Amino acid sequence: MTEQIIMAGFGGQGVLSMGKILAKAALHEGKNVSWLPSYGPEMRGGTANCNVIISDDEIGTPIVTDATSVLVLNRPSLAKFENDVIPGGSLIVNSSLISNKTIRDDIQAYYVPASEVANEIGDSRATNMVMLGAYMEITRIVDKDTVIKVITEAFKNKNPKIIELNIKALTLGADCAKEHMGAIA
């Protein structure tokens, strides 16, 4: 099993953190992992993306060449990375900010209102965790409990409400994916 993931959005949307949390969770589960961040010089408001590879086998390069999944949090990222999804792969779109639908019929597209969900629970910064929760539900690449452990470790020196918020966002993202998967079944 090898999963090659591209996560992309604006700087400040937590794209790199989302990738790092996923990578650490996979590492906790004994999988081989690589995480390769990339961001524009303008940081907040500019572009940011990361490549995450999770595999049972050794990973030869950290660069995603055949994306099995692409998570996009903004419209420019959809335009840039939509065609990088392999046939049969998954495209997960933050439908709160992206009204466009994919024109491809050889991939599975999921439209998750991630920003809207994050705003409903009180913090737009949780958009990345909503998207991660949806991705985890769709692929089952790592166990939710492992991700919760990583979130708890990552924010242990912060206000405990931040941990609660991120776990809630993760759960709601998984719920969005379940609803979507039920609608297309």
pLDDT in tens, 116-155: 999 999 999 999 999 999 999 999 999 999 999 999 999 9
The CATH number for 130's domain is: 3.40.920.10
* pTM value > 0.85: yes
Task: From 41, 24, 33, select the one nearest 5 (Cα to Cα).
Answer: 33
Residues in CB range of 20: below 8 A, 6 or more apart: 35, 50
Q: In the prediction, which pLDDT does 32 show? A: 98
Domain of residue 131, residue span: 2-184
Q: In the prediction, which pLDDT does 41 show? A: 66
Strands laid side by side in the 85-94 sheet: 32-39, 47-55, 2-10, 67-72, 85-94, 108-112
Q: Please, are residues 93 and 74 in contact by the beta-carbon 8 Å criterion?
A: no
The dihedral through the CA atoms of 90, 163, 14, 130 has a sign that is positive
What percent of the chain has a predicted confidence (pLDDT) above 70? Answer: 94
The total of other beta-carbon atoms located within 10 Å of residue 159's CB is 9
State the Cα–Cα distance between residues 139 and 93, nearest whole angstrom.
15
Q: Please, are residues 14 and 48 in contact by the beta-carbon 8 Å criterion?
A: no
Rg of the chain over Cα atoms, rounded to whole angstroms, equals: 15
Q: In the prediction, which pLDDT does 183 show? A: 55
Q: Which pair of tokens denotes residue 3?
A: 């999963």
Q: Please, are residues 176 and 117 in contact by the beta-carbon 8 Å criterion?
A: yes
pLDDT in tens, 1-11: 999 999 999 98
Number of domains in the chain: 1
| Distances, alpha carbon 138 to alpha carbons 34, 116, 135, in Å | 20, 20, 5
The total of other beta-carbon atoms located within 10 Å of residue 119's CB is 14
